[in-house]
Amino acid sequence: MRQYFEKMDDLGKPLKPAQVERMKENRAQIEAVMQSIDAEVDRVKKAGIPAEKIRERGQMTVWDRIEYLVDPGTFCPLHTLYNPMDNEEGMTGVIDGLARISGKWCVLIGFDNKVMAGAWIGGQADNNLRVTDMAKILNLPLVWIVNCSGVKLPEQEKVYANRRGNGTTFFRHAELEQIGVPILAGIYGTNPAGGGYQGISPTILLAHKDANIAVGGGGIVSGMSPKGGFDEAGAEQIIDSTRHFKEVPPGSVGIHHDYTGFFRQVFETEKGVLDGLKAYMAEMPAYNPRFFRVAPPAEPKYPPAEISSIVAFNQKGGYDFDSVLARLVDNSEHLEFRTGFGPEVYTGLVKVDGYLLGAIGNRQGLFPNYPEYTNEYTAIGGKLYRQGLIKMNEFVTQCDRDRIPIIWFQDTSGIDVGDTAEKAELLGLGQSLIYSIEATKVPMALVVLRKGTAAAHYVMGGPTANNHNAFTLGTATTEIYVMHGETAAVASFSRRLVKEKESGRPLTPIIDKMNELAREYNEKSRPFYCAKTGFVDEVVRFEAIRNYLVAFANAVYQNPRSICPQHHMMLPRLIRSQIVKGLERPPKQE
Amino acid sequence: MSVEVLAPMPGKILDVLVKVGDQVGEDDELVILEAMKMENPVYSTADGVVKEIRVKKDDTVDADQVLVVLD
């Protein structure tokens, strides 16, 4: 299949000097947003007690552990700013992302031992579920750095119970194991109760010599019989018990290595535990990349950093999506599926690190003489019309047939509306795309390049595709909302305006409310808000998107559950047959 | 031979990015046209020199109206 993959068609255009000059302010606006994101990330890294205090105790912080554990330059952090319950720490108490360890890709998550010794805090449960979902979708090992003091007791109502509470993680671990996804745990420190289950629920447990895991910690064991209140005698008893358990915490390595054997290995040093994880990771099942690569890896012909000179910070600004994609894929090459049909949407095959991926994205700009179902108006980029929806349905289905994972790029203002659009079946075709996605077995990821709006945010591989979307990236230009704030203000207050006008009352109070709603929409759709609430899993610089795509491509092809031989793929042939009619029949022999 | 660059749809000229005498290449941005609430670059359809600019900022234009003439 070399003729299809080794040299694909050229994609995108070089930047013109005039464009670079014209986009100077654009780049500055993008950088300003990213600097504010960097400041928030820095705040998260400094959450809890200072790193120096941890190191003075002879321990490593979670960040030190990740740095030592992961192959240099491969960590792609996710959920760094995720903080849906507005914890004062600005995070959920865990650090996670895609990472390569000993040459094998995994989903990595570790408790931040600077934050209340790795306590369960608000939002952590959902963070953990996102991470276990990712391991399941990508069929990747899950690696835990366990250092968990259990429930933050003053806020137990936020973390302990509920359908998607912290305990749900342990059921997910069991689910992963039952579908063949291994979970490794490197265990440090005191891990009582919830921390104990964080320790026991993985597949392979490697412990530091001072680690312990237990059903309950010393604090619980010394006060398990409520007497209806506290008095001096009771306090003395608590002091005695606490002193005892401080010296000999329950579930130490003496119990769980020497007696129960739960701990496979115990290590003298902190780094020793990480070396143990590295050794297990080196033995994880993984295909050699040559098994699935369709061409040698290559960098994009145009630098990814140039995307800041293409994507308009001004949400109304048009740009060339193909030139964005060109800066993210190997050698800036592609095979476009159904060129010209549904022109508002790009669908095509691209290579990332030598692996084949499907790419789908909204094109921007003007599309005269389209959509085909009306002459009342003309198509505008970012919106979805009939042909575009049909094309995405076809492409997703074909990608599944050929087992090609998909990267989505959203910059969409929604699906065309009105009775003309209804007659064109757009409501049905949107849901059909959801059906097509759900019918596939291929992993997907999403980059919200700019707008994620209305149902289009769902149907274009959005995070709502729980069984397929491994992660969603945001950028400095990301905005996610059901509709633009001004549109929402009109929808909410138009009738009221008419009423006030007919009653002869002043319009100013309503206008103020409309402006307030539009302002609120703007605040609650910006990149930081999207990251904090989990609308996206990380906000990254444009030039970093490529790293995540490389991680995604390597992850999905490391150990896929289902395979299509390259020579049995139909998509490249379907694409080529759009241009090439096929082989001529040989002339009849005389 | 002259080449006329046309408005792809009705709209308002937000900016003219070139001046008479400029050398432009195919796909260079010539004007920014606001249409359907979006600001869209209109690209040169050929290499050439800007001979004539028939619109100015804030002009309203019809579909297929000539915006720029290239030589």
A348 and A278 share one domain: no
Averaged pLDDT, A15-19: 90
A493 and A532 share one domain: no
A410 and A427 share one domain: yes
Residue A137 is among the residues annotated as catalytic for this protein: no
Q: Which amino acid is at A508?
A: T
Using an 8 Å Cβ cutoff, are B24 and B70 in contact? yes
Q: What is the pLDDT of residues B18-63, one digit of tens each?
A: 999 999 998 888 999 998 888 888 999 999 999 999 999 999 999 8
What pLDDT does residue A252 have?
A: 94
- Residue A233 lies inside a defined structural domain of this protein: no
Averaged pLDDT, A23-30: 97
Alpha helices in A181-332 (DSSP H): 194-200, 218-221, 232-247, 253-256, 270-282, 321-326
C-alpha span between A111 and A105 (Å, rounded)? 20
Q: Residue A410's closest CA among A441, A381, A439?
A: A381
Instruction: Phi first, then psi: give them for residue B41, nearest 5 degrees.
Output: -70, 140
What is the CA B41 to chain-centroid distance, rounded? Answer: 8
C-alpha span between A386 and A456 (Å, rounded)? 13
A334 and A368 share one domain: yes
Alpha helices in A212-357 (DSSP H): 218-221, 232-247, 253-256, 270-282, 321-326
Q: Residue B18's closest CA among B61, B38, B39, B48?
A: B48
pLDDT > 90 in chain A, percent: 88
C-alpha span between A473 and A448 (Å, rounded)? 6
A420 and A454 share one domain: yes
Q: What is the DSSP letter of A583?
A: P
Place of tokens 């997703």: A396
Q: What is the pLDDT of residues A178-207, one digit of tens each?
A: 999 999 999 999 999 999 999 999 999 999
A421 and A498 share one domain: no
Q: What helix, strand, coil percent values describe chain B, rounded to 5?
A: 0, 55, 45
Q: Tell me the residues of B at the A interface, defined by beta carbons under 8 Å apart.
A: 8-9, 17, 25, 27-29, 33-41, 63
* B38 vs A22, A316, A368: nearest CB: A316
* Cβ contacts of A545 within 8 Å, gap of 6 or more: A304, A307, A328, A447, A473, A475
Average pLDDT of chain A to the nearest whole number: 94
Binary contact (A380, B38; C-beta < 8 A):
yes
Domain that holds residue A100: 49-215+250-282
- Residue A344 lies inside a defined structural domain of this protein: yes
Place of tokens 């552990």: A65
A422 and A517 share one domain: no
Set A54, A151, A345, A406: catalytic member: A151
CB atoms within 10 A of CB A265: 14
- Residue A103 lies inside a defined structural domain of this protein: yes
A317 and A402 share one domain: yes
The CATH number of whichever domain residue B62 belongs to comes to 2.40.50.100
- Residue A11 lies inside a defined structural domain of this protein: no
Q: What is the pLDDT of residues A227-239, one digit of tens each?
A: 778 888 878 877 7
Using an 8 Å Cβ cutoff, are A514 and A489 in contact? yes
The CATH number of whichever domain residue A439 belongs to comes to 3.90.226.10
Q: What is the pLDDT of residues A395-410, one digit of tens each?
A: 999 999 999 999 999 9
Q: Is A471 helix (H, G, I), strand (E, B) or coil?
A: strand
Query: What radius of gyration do chain A's Cα atoms show?
Result: 27
- B48-53 vs B66-70, strand pairing mode: antiparallel
What pLDDT does residue A586 have?
A: 65
Q: Among A525, A540, A558, where does a domain finish?
A: A525
C-alpha span between A451 and A70 (Å, rounded)? 33
Distance (Å) of CA A311 to CA A20, A44, A308, B51: 12, 28, 6, 30
- Residue A135 lies inside a defined structural domain of this protein: yes
A80 and A108 share one domain: yes
Using an 8 Å Cβ cutoff, are A134 and A92 in contact? no
A277 and A346 share one domain: no
Using an 8 Å Cβ cutoff, are A209 and A167 in contact? no
Domain that holds residue B38: 3-70
Place of tokens 């009221």: A496
How many domains is chain A built from? 3
Is the sign of the CA dihedral A323, A328, A333, A336 positive or negative? negative
Assigned token pair, A560: 């896929």
pLDDT at position A247 over 80? no
Four-CA torsion A38, A40, A45, A50, nearest 10 degrees: 120
Q: Residue A518's closest CA among A481, A479, A485, A480?
A: A485
C-alpha span between A442 and A444 (Å, rounded)? 7
Q: Tell me the residues of A at the B interface, defined by beta carbons under 8 Å apart.
A: 13, 16, 18-19, 22, 312, 314, 316-319, 364-366, 368, 377-378, 380-382
**Bond prior to A371 in cis (omega within 30° of 0):** yes
What is the CA A473 to chain-centroid distance, rounded? Answer: 6
How many domains is chain B built from? 1
- Residue A231 lies inside a defined structural domain of this protein: no
What pLDDT does residue B35 have?
A: 86
Averaged pLDDT, A101-116: 97
C-alpha span between A224 and A200 (Å, rounded)? 22
C-alpha span between A92 and A86 (Å, rounded)? 9
Using an 8 Å Cβ cutoff, are A30 and A542 in contact? yes
What pLDDT does residue A426 have?
A: 96
Distance (Å) of CA A532 to CA A16, A61, A192, A517, A526: 37, 23, 29, 20, 10
Assigned token pair, A490: 């009109």
A319 and A408 share one domain: yes
Taking one residue from A and the other from B, the number of pairs with CB-CB distance under 8 angstroms is 49
Predicted confidence band of residue A222 (pLDDT cuts 50, 70, 90): low
Assigned token pair, A574: 């379907």
Set A90, A97, A118, A194: catalytic member: A194
What pLDDT does residue A172 have?
A: 98
Binary contact (A16, B9; C-beta < 8 A):
no
Binary contact (B39, A312; C-beta < 8 A):
yes
What pLDDT does residue A580 have?
A: 47
Q: Which amino acid is at A298?
A: A
C-alpha span between A219 and A200 (Å, rounded)? 20
What pLDDT does residue A246 have?
A: 66
Predicted confidence band of residue A38 (pLDDT cuts 50, 70, 90): very high
Using an 8 Å Cβ cutoff, are A99 and A74 in contact? yes
What pLDDT does residue A442 have?
A: 97
Q: What is the ipTM of this complex?
A: 0.81
Using an 8 Å Cβ cutoff, are A454 and A464 in contact? no
Q: Is A20 helix (H, G, I), strand (E, B) or coil?
A: helix
0.95 cut: is pTM over it? no
pLDDT at position A224 over 90? no
Q: What is the pLDDT of residues A521-555, one digit of tens each?
A: 999 999 999 999 999 999 999 999 999 999 999 99
A295 and A341 share one domain: yes
Q: What is the pLDDT of residues A248-287, one digit of tens each?
A: 789 999 999 999 999 999 999 999 999 999 999 999 999 9
Length of chain B: 71
